[in-house]
Structure 1
Amino acid sequence: MVGSTELQKLKEEYPEFFKKTPAKLIDFILSEETSSKIADICVKNGVGDDDKIEGIAYRIVLVLLNKLPKENLALTLESGVGLTAETAKKVADEANQFISSARAQLKLGETVQIEKELPKETIVEEKPKRPPSKDAYREKIE
């Protein structure tokens, strides 16, 4: 958990981030419960190295902040943290369950912003197809 003075320093250094990010999400990310849950996921899947746990936690936070797609988490853990493919998949699956439940708990959507509304689809009527007929102009191939 980050202390209040450390959090104040972060708010001064990165004011735009704190304006854009919901306070509930920041509190959730910095909570002791979140830290222990991430550590439990790591230990359960055989990751005990503190540096690797820190790398995993960093990437899970990126997913929570919508900076990394959750579909890419396993690959990112494999290449960025140095986990085996099997371990990365197990950790990513559990982390994605945790992330989904966190979003539901915090009532956050999958995407934070929608840039612009997509244009409406135009409905094009299909013309009935002619029944296939023999092509009189086609030459026979021998």
Structure 2
Amino acid sequence: MKYCSCLIFLIYGKIKEINKIKEIKLIKPMAQDYTKEQLWEIFEKLPSDLKQAIFSEETAAYISDICLRNKVGGNKISEVARYTGRVLMGILSIEEFQKILTSQLKLEEDVAKNVFYEINRYIFNPVKDSLAALTQAPVTPAPVTPTTPTPAPPTKEEIPKTTPTKPAGRDVYREPIE
């Protein structure tokens, strides 16, 4: 009976973990892992600046420096690099990148924020236009609404100027000059 309750606890823990993973929205529906052929197909369709960013030594150096500066070590550096590559390939959205850093890589919240901020600044920001083009939803034409003619601006009417007339008699409100 003791082993049964432990097994139920483990299964329940895994179910909670799976439910957390399901909350993460991906740009393209994907299995957890792509085959090499699928990744190459996706890679070949990318713009040249994203291709260059993926295999750039500068990108690798940035990831390594960022992780070491934030005390992320071991296998987690390669995992950060893998998820960074998935963002650059358009498989994963930038918005979900930080969630993955905390949920799957188990980084502390402040460390994950710092890593995300620096990777976003040094790696994603230089290619943000290409990334935006990858993540944009297909544009549907806006419904055509009939336009009403705009009314013409009002014209100025000439108002005749009236000249003040002098009163016929003496002005009682006026003080006499001394």
Q: Which residue of structure 1 lines up, in the alignment, with residue 132 of structure 2? A: 110
- Aligned partner of residue 102 in structure 1, secondary structure: helix
Query: Are 1:62 and 2:83 matched, yes or no?
Result: no
Q: What residue identity is the alignment partner of 1:59? A: Y
- Aligned partner of residue 62 in structure 1, secondary structure: helix
- Within the candidate set 12, 17, 35, 2:42 is matched to 17
| Contact 1:74–1:89, Cα closer than 8 Å, also in 2 | yes
Go from structure 1 to structure 2 and tell me whether the alpha carbon gap of 1:119 and 1:13 turns closer, same or farther (over 3 Å shift).
closer
- Aligned partner of residue 91 in structure 2, secondary structure: coil
Query: Are 1:44 and 2:69 matched, yes or no?
Result: yes
Deviation at 1:96, TM superposition (A): 1.2
Query: Are 1:28 and 2:53 matched, yes or no?
Result: yes
Deviation at 1:71, TM superposition (A): 1.7
Q: What residue identity is the alignment partner of 1:30? A: F
Q: What residue identity is the alignment partner of 1:75? A: K
Q: Which has the larger radius of gyration?
A: 2
Q: TM-score, normalised by structure 1?
A: 0.64
Go from structure 1 to structure 2 and tell me whether the alpha carbon gap of 1:117 and 1:14 turns closer, same or farther (over 3 Å shift).
same
Q: Which residue of structure 1 lines up, in the alignment, with residue 28 of structure 2? A: none
- Aligned partner of residue 41 in structure 2, secondary structure: helix
Q: What residue identity is the alignment partner of 2:105? A: V
Query: Are 1:77 and 2:106 matched, yes or no?
Result: no
> What is the Cα-based RMSD across aligned positions, in Å?
3.0
Q: Which residue of structure 2 lines up, in the alignment, with residue 91 of structure 1? A: 115
Superposed, which structure 2 residues align to 1:125-136 within 5 Å? none
Deviation at 1:23, TM superposition (A): 3.2
Pick 1 or 2: higher relative contact order, CA cutoff 8 A, min separation 6.
2
Q: TM-score, normalised by structure 2?
A: 0.53
